[in-house]
Chain A
Amino acid sequence: MNILNVILKNYRSRLQRNQTTWPPPVLQRVSCYVICVNKYQYFVQKFPRGAPVNSNREENGKRNIYAPQQLVGVVGLEIHAQINSNTKLFSGSSVRFSAPPNSLVSFFDASLPGTLPVLNKRCVEAVVMTGLALNCTINKKSLFDRKHYFYADLPAGYQITQQRQPTAVNGRLTYSFLEGKKRSQVTKTVSIKQIQLEQDSGKSLHDDVRGQTLIDLNRAEGQLRVDANVSVHKPGEPLGIRTEVKNINSIRYLAKAIDYEIQRQIDILQSGGRVQNETRLICTADKAPLFSTPAFRFMPEPNLPPLIVYEDNASLPAGISVCQAVVLQAIRQELPELPSIKRDRLVQTYGILPEHSFTLVNEDGLVEYFESVLKVTKMEPRKVIGWVTNDLLGHLKQQDMSSIQTAQLALVYILLRTRVFLLAAASQVFQEMWTSSGKTAQQIFQEKDLALVTDTAQLHSICQRVVDSHPEEVDAIRNGKKKVLNKLMGLVQKETKGRADPVLVRNILQEKTS
């Protein structure tokens, strides 16, 4: 289930940081809807009661004493991600976090009679861009439907969605993750059934004390919501009855919930029961079924004509201006570099490990930071990557991630001063910067006297001291064990608090130990 974590982690981290990098439309405001279907193999090695089945042994020539029940789990994910837009999908009211309740509600959002939906162009561009990024076929003509159900936070009694003919279909996402102790790269593909635009319902707060529900129709929840559809079957046979698992509020629990549900269904089937088509909510230990899947009475949305997306400007019919149309060619050009391509590029260009490319791409701004460090210092990428992924990230994780901006500036200053990139010094500066507020990198640099020690006389005397107090190591070096020099270097750096010019130190030590 780490697989799912990888795909969904990207979405979530960008959501939290209000990013506009890929995936561009995945954040905030009104829903965009993805279904992925993937198959997971679960071999249940449960032995049937009674005598073991020996027939396989002779047939296959294998030592297959027991016939395992080969029930396979099938998982479909429904991902609701909000689009980063200024206004709502069908009305011109704005979308903002933490606005006072019902302050961002237009007459249409309140479902007052006589109001009509007007589609937001930005949302169409967003769903098309997502479709292109996920290798989907974009339906030039897509339709809107009404999905009916009764709930207090849905004043119209229906949601406008795109069930029958959505904007994007048949996509796929290829992703890699690192598995096992050796961190070997595994590549998998998940297929995407469709991506559609969908209206969000309002927000309801349950007041159990007074037995009432408070409704806020603002609709800016800013969350990534995932529902899992799970069924089991024997490969080759038709799909089993599916259950829907909702109310999963973390990616980690998504994996657990799916595993649990697959096992639960396998247990039911193996004991001769039947799986019910129902919706189950996650709530602590019990996963009691809540309600059977309602019938949504889908019907075409009568107030919206079909949505047409055009290939290029040339194919725009007469009377439709460019500003009124969504054109595929233009959106393709706006697509940024996708993560997998970026990771490959980093590995190819800098010779870093795939593992590191994941870390770089997963944290916003880190790739740019890494590349600017390389450009200015001209240090070896592998050296820098170690520091960036361990030290720097360690610091940043304790702070707000926007500190990477200030880290950038501090770094530039240090580099200009030292001309040799002293990683230890940088760490110290960052540490200080974030614990004692207000001080700039310059101030800390001067205070801590982090300037490079290049005074050869001083270095000579320190090196001499180290050499004199470590005769065994010196012998080892003279006998051919050159790597022991690093230990002596470390000791010198310790004395100089990491401020010695490493090149000079190495030369001096080599001189003294030859």
Chain B
Amino acid sequence: KWLQVQVVHSCGPLSAGQSVRLMYYSAQIPADLVDKLERLALLDFRTKQGLVCLEKAIRHADQLLVVDTSAVEPMDSVLEDRALNLRDDTAMEGDCAEELLRLSKNIVEEYFVAPPGKIVHLISVRTSQEASLPH
């Protein structure tokens, strides 16, 4: 409810659909969705603070729904008015295996070494929570 008030204050009246959407997100996010998000982003945030942070992030993004974008093409790149530079098909790079392999702690002959199979380690976000999302 408090969110609704805030939005009306800044941007004008909401349509029925938009307000319903915002109200949904004040509820808890289902556990299997959290699971999926963790797997997709390789982040471990299943703490109380983590989930609160997630909720706030979603609400923050929801402000976009308030803007009337009918008949407006989305801008998906700030470079949209630039010309894309095309490169000539001539070899100019590469041949620096030694330099690259030196960056890795673990190499075998001239290969980088990775743990087998899919990466499953989740990176904990506990420390990065302080780096805040505005709310």
Contacts and interface: CB of A to CB of B under 8 A. Distances in A.
A133 interface: no
Contacts of B81: 305
Interface stretch (A104-112, A337-345, A445-453): A104-112
A102 B110 contact: yes
A104 B87 contact: no
Interface residues of A, number: 62
Nearest to A300: B76
B119 A105 contact: no
A151 B29 CA distance: 28
Contacts of A118: 85, 87
Given A102-B110, A212-B113, A300-B76, A308 B95 contact: no
B113 A150 contact: no
Interface in B47-75: none
B94 A150 contact: no
A159 to B, nearest CB: 15
A291 B100 CA distance: 32
Contacts of A208: 116
Given A120-B89, A305-B77, 20 more contacts: A85-B89, A86-B89, A86-B90, A86-B91, A92-B87, A94-B91, A105-B100, A107-B93, A107-B100, A119-B85, A121-B86, A121-B88, A152-B114, A212-B108, A213-B113, A213-B115, A214-B112, A215-B113, A216-B112, A300-B77
A320 B94 CA distance: 29
B118 interface: yes
A319 B87 CA distance: 16
Contact of B89 (A87, A100, A217): A87
Contacts of A207: 108, 116
A110 B100 contact: yes
B109 interface: yes
B82 interface: yes
B87 A120 contact: yes
B11 interface: no
B114 A204 contact: yes
Interface in B86-126: 86-97, 100-101, 103, 108-119
A119 B97 contact: no
Interface string B16-46: 0000000000000000000010001010000
A102 B97 contact: yes
Contacts of B85: 118-119, 324
B5 interface: no
A293 to B, nearest CB: 12
B96 A295 contact: no
Contacts, number: 150
A93 interface: yes
Nearest to A302: B77
B131 interface: no
B111 A101 contact: yes
Contacts of B79: 302-305
B130 interface: no
A150 B115 contact: no
A512 interface: no
14 contacts: A91-B93, A92-B87, A93-B91, A102-B101, A103-B97, A109-B94, A151-B119, A217-B112, A294-B40, A304-B84, A305-B81, A305-B84, A308-B83, A324-B85
Contacts of B115: 152, 211-213
Interface centre among B36, B80, B88, B115 (most CB of A within 10 A): B88
A426 interface: no
Interface string A200-228: 00001111100111111100000000000
B92 A150 contact: no
Contact of A119 (B84, B103, B116): B84
Interface of B: 36, 40, 42, 76-97, 100-101, 103, 108-119
A207 B114 CA distance: 10
B19 to A, nearest CB: 28
Task: Name the residue among A102, A106, A151, A319 with the largest chain B CB count within 10 angstroms.
Answer: A102
A216 B83 CA distance: 33
A103 B116 contact: no
A74 interface: no
A388 interface: no
A306 interface: yes
Interface string A300-343: 11111111100000000001100011100000000000000000
A433 interface: no
A112 B84 CA distance: 22
A102 B111 contact: yes
A150 B108 CA distance: 22
Contacts of A212: 108, 113-116
Chain A CB within 10 Å, residue with most, of B91, B92, B95: B91
Contact of B93 (A106, A205, A308): A106
A319 B81 CA distance: 13
A302 B75 CA distance: 11
A124 B86 contact: yes
Contacts of A308: 83-84
Given A306-B77, A308-B84, A324-B86, A92 B113 contact: no
A306 B84 contact: yes
Given A143-B76, A150-B118, A92 B90 contact: yes
Nearest to A216: B111
Interface string A242-273: 00000000000000000000000000000000
A88 to B, nearest CB: 9
